[in-house]
Structure 1
Amino acid sequence: MFETLTAPKPDAIIALMQAFAADTRAGKIDLGVGVYRDEEGRTPVMAAVKAAEARILAEQDSKSYLSLAGDAGFLQAMETLLLGGAAPSARVAAVGTPGGSAAVRQICELIRKTRPESVIWVSAQTWPNHLPLITAAGLQARPYRYLAPEGGLDQPGLFADLEQAAAGDVVLLHGCCHNPSGVDLAPQDWAELGALLARRGAVPFVDMAYQGFGAGLDADAGGLRHLAARLPEVLVAASCSKNFGLYRERVGIAMAIVSAAQRDTLAAVLAGLNRQNFAFPPDHGARVVSTILGDVALRHQWLTELDAMRARVQANRRALAEALRAETGSDRFAGVAAEQGMFSLLPLSHDEVQRLRAEHGVYVLDDGRANMAGLSARNIAACARAIASVTR
């Protein structure tokens, strides 16, 4: 039965994690894996999460199944967090999923079920799992330009490419801090995109995992809310891994904003897709999120912790940019300080990336993507020296 199987190509991020773990050198620096790390290099459990878990442990009296859509309190709390009332609840259908990746896959399954001929437009700089999730669902993907060669958003290229989208096509957009380049769409870009999508009859599909890592919860959701308030159909995949630190709990939501007349049908279809794939979504992490968002004190504690995480990553950006300017005597890496979120796409060649690993034990992905949360006061100077050394 399995004689013809061949091993899949290793996932780039997983392969980098394994290479870092196998490296025995002291002072090695991991800027690859996409998790938040504190100054000590740890990925801590947030205090608000621990408090919510203690409350759940004391109060929860059953582990029985919930609905195929997941906990209604979680879905409502996430709708408020993401949309902030930009679209009425009567237009929102949603289901819980095992993390953001499963949310993307479920939305792809929804597209295949309703319009399998749709082309899914994906930014040229995206995550390694986006294209496999799309193609595994039997859908066609097509790239659009995103990052300019000199850095920053390639706005003319992006809009020129998406002007080719046909009615019924789907455009996968990165929410705040989500593009691995660290370059976000500005509010005006979101406004122009909304107008373009309305004119072309294409449907936006927003992938959101870093709300709160940019300018704040509401500002970070501004682009999504603009689309939700103005377009007839919007698809959303969101994760709580990053902003709640619930990586291993796999907390996600798949959402469709449609007409009120279609809402119940979409909710039933999404629940049916859950049944076909994994049946009931996991509840523990989702219950942690709804407990935090539903309690004034816990929500305040969570926001305070999230603000501190955001401030630390931004400080790391500024410190690395300054150290690189001092080491290289140029502004080649100045864009790092202006970008948002945990990631930057460093302007490094494949050979320079390989030398960083081999000669200095600094691990970034082959395309130069680096996790700014992996930096600390102890290693920023060494990291800058290493980058300067391989770029001379």
Structure 2
Amino acid sequence: MFSALKPQPADKILALMGQFKADPRADKIDLGVGVYKDATGHTPIMRAVKTAEKLLWEAETTKTYTGLAGDPAFNAAMADLVLGGTVDAGRISSVATPGGTGAVRQAFELARMAAPQGRVFVSDPTWPNHLSILKHLGMEAVPYRYFDADTRAVDFAGMIADLAAARAGDIVLLHGCCHNPTGANLTLPEWEEVAALLEKTGAVPMIDIAYQGFGDGLDADAAGVRLIANRLPEVLIAASCSKNFGIYRERTGALIALSDPARQEVTQGTLAYLNRQNYSFPPDHGARLVTMILTDPALRAEWEAELEEVRLGMLTLREGLATELKRLSGSDRFGFLAQHRGMFSRLGATPEQVERLKTEHGIYMVGDSRLNIAGLNATTVPILAKAVIDVGV
């Protein structure tokens, strides 16, 4: 049987991680993998998470299953974090998932059940795993223009023109904030235009929000999501806790589905059914930590303060890199780095220049020149800037 299997395409980011580990140079810099790192290059456990784990260790008395949808308290806490209490609870169905990726997969599965012939409109570019999962599920992906490679900003006119082709039964996949891989985000007025277009076409928005709190703050980063949630009758939201709680390996996420209250019971039941088919009960450890943090005022305040430190630290790195590149190049062409938000930006280097950065300077980034801002620190910012100019970006 296994002789019929064919080699699968290698994940480019995982392959890059392997190359970085094998590189013997002591001064190499990893800007590829999408993981937050502090100034020492370490991915720390957040203070509130550490405190919650100690409390949980003392209080936990069982490891039995929670439920197909996960702990109701977690689902309620995540809905409040993302939606901010702006949506009628009678519209909300939600389940815990293994990370944000699990939420994305379940959302696509739900969409395929509800509208088997529906297409999924996906930004060009997008997180590669969006396309990989859609291909695996046999769902049609339709690219829409999003990023202008010349201006390094959102090509909003192209985006709206392409999304006008969506129709009822289709899904429009949107990034809630901190667009991956470009870092270029929609403004709130642009979110309003997208909402109006979706109302007109009847397509259902699906929002992947993996970086809430990494851009302009917890509420500001969710503003577009909340606007869509209140304007459209049906919405899918895939939320991740990996980045903003720093619990990558705990695989903690949530899928939220908004519907008419009359359809809420069926929607919730379908989400639980999909969990049962894919992995039965979702993991609970990370979800319980998140619940403890979000529902305890002291823990939440500590978490929000540290998250703000992380956010401001990334902004400082962005501004520092843009300033140093301006100094070295005598040009404002890298100013977009300070305007983008989140962990990622596309530098605008060619694949050949990216390869030179790796071979000549030990600087690793994805082939499309996506770099992880959080992989930098005050020491490596000028090193990267000099290398970028050296290879002719």
Bucket of the pairwise TM-score, normalised by the shorter protein: over 0.9
Aligned pairs for 1:192-271 (under 5 A) are 192-271=193-272
Per-residue CA distance 1:22-74 (angstroms, 9 max, x = gap)? 10012111000001100000000001000011111110101001110001110
CA distance in 1: counterparts of 2:128 and 2:156, whole angstroms: 23
CA distance in 2: counterparts of 1:356 and 1:11, whole angstroms: 20
Partner AA of 1:54 in structure 2: K
Question: Once structures 1 and 2 are overlaid, which stretch shifts more, 35-44 or 130-139?
Answer: 130-139
CA distance in 2: counterparts of 1:330 and 1:366, whole angstroms: 24
Between the two proteins, the alignment pairs up a number of residues equal to: 392
Per-residue CA distance 1:346-386 (angstroms, 9 max, x = gap)? 11001000100010000110000000001111111111111
Please state whether the residue corresponding to 2:3 is helix, strand or coil: coil
1:76 maps to 76
Please state whether the residue corresponding to 1:237 is helix, strand or coil: strand
1:364 maps to 365
CA distance in 2: counterparts of 1:228 and 1:85, whole angstroms: 11
**Please, which runs of 5 or more residues in structure 1 have no aligned partner?**
none
1:6 maps to 6
Does residue 153 (structure 1) correspond to residue 154 (structure 2)? The answer is: yes
2:114 maps to 114
Residue 240 of structure 1, CA deviation: 0.1
Per-residue CA distance 1:215-272 (angstroms, 9 max, x = gap)? 1111110000001111100001010000000100000111110000000101000100
CA distance in 1: counterparts of 2:238 and 2:252, whole angstroms: 11
CA distance in 2: counterparts of 1:348 and 1:135, whole angstroms: 28
Partner AA of 1:276 in structure 2: Q
CA distance in 2: counterparts of 1:260 and 1:137, whole angstroms: 29
2:32 maps to 32
Aligned pairs for 1:16-55 (under 5 A) are 16-55=16-55
Residue 124 of structure 1, CA deviation: 0.4
Does residue 295 (structure 1) correspond to residue 296 (structure 2)? The answer is: yes
Contact 1:333/1:347 (<8 A) preserved: no
CA distance in 2: counterparts of 1:312 and 1:84, whole angstroms: 25
1:187 maps to 188
Contact 1:95/1:253 (<8 A) preserved: yes
Percent identity between the aligned chains?
51
Contact 1:178/1:209 (<8 A) preserved: no
CA distance in 2: counterparts of 1:342 and 1:187, whole angstroms: 20
Does residue 285 (structure 1) correspond to residue 309 (structure 2)? The answer is: no
**Please, which runs of 5 or more residues in structure 2 have no aligned partner?**
none
Residue 178 of structure 1, CA deviation: 3.1
Per-residue CA distance 1:120-161 (angstroms, 9 max, x = gap)? 000001111001111222211000000113210101100000
CA distance in 2: counterparts of 1:304 and 1:149, whole angstroms: 35
1:67 maps to 67
Contact 1:234/1:256 (<8 A) preserved: yes
CA distance in 1: counterparts of 2:26 and 2:336, whole angstroms: 30
Question: Once structures 1 and 2 are overlaid, which stretch shifts more, 137-146 or 323-332?
Answer: 323-332
Partner AA of 2:32 in structure 1: G
1:308 maps to 309
2:392 maps to 391
Partner AA of 1:115 in structure 2: A
Residue 6 of structure 1, CA deviation: 2.1
Residue 4 of structure 1, CA deviation: 2.2
CA distance in 2: counterparts of 1:336 and 1:52, whole angstroms: 35
Moved over 4 A (4+): none
CA distance in 2: counterparts of 1:221 and 1:48, whole angstroms: 22
Please state whether the residue corresponding to 1:3 is helix, strand or coil: helix
CA distance in 2: counterparts of 1:386 and 1:106, whole angstroms: 42
Please state whether the residue corresponding to 1:391 is helix, strand or coil: coil
Please state whether the residue corresponding to 1:324 is helix, strand or coil: helix
Aligned pairs for 1:272-351 (under 5 A) are 272-351=273-352
Contact 2:177/2:211 (<8 A) preserved: yes
1:173 maps to 174
Partner AA of 1:199 in structure 2: K
Contact 2:208/2:237 (<8 A) preserved: yes
CA distance in 2: counterparts of 1:77 and 1:166, whole angstroms: 33
CA distance in 2: counterparts of 1:127 and 1:241, whole angstroms: 15
CA distance in 2: counterparts of 1:203 and 1:291, whole angstroms: 32
1:91 maps to 91
CA distance in 1: counterparts of 2:108 and 2:58, whole angstroms: 38
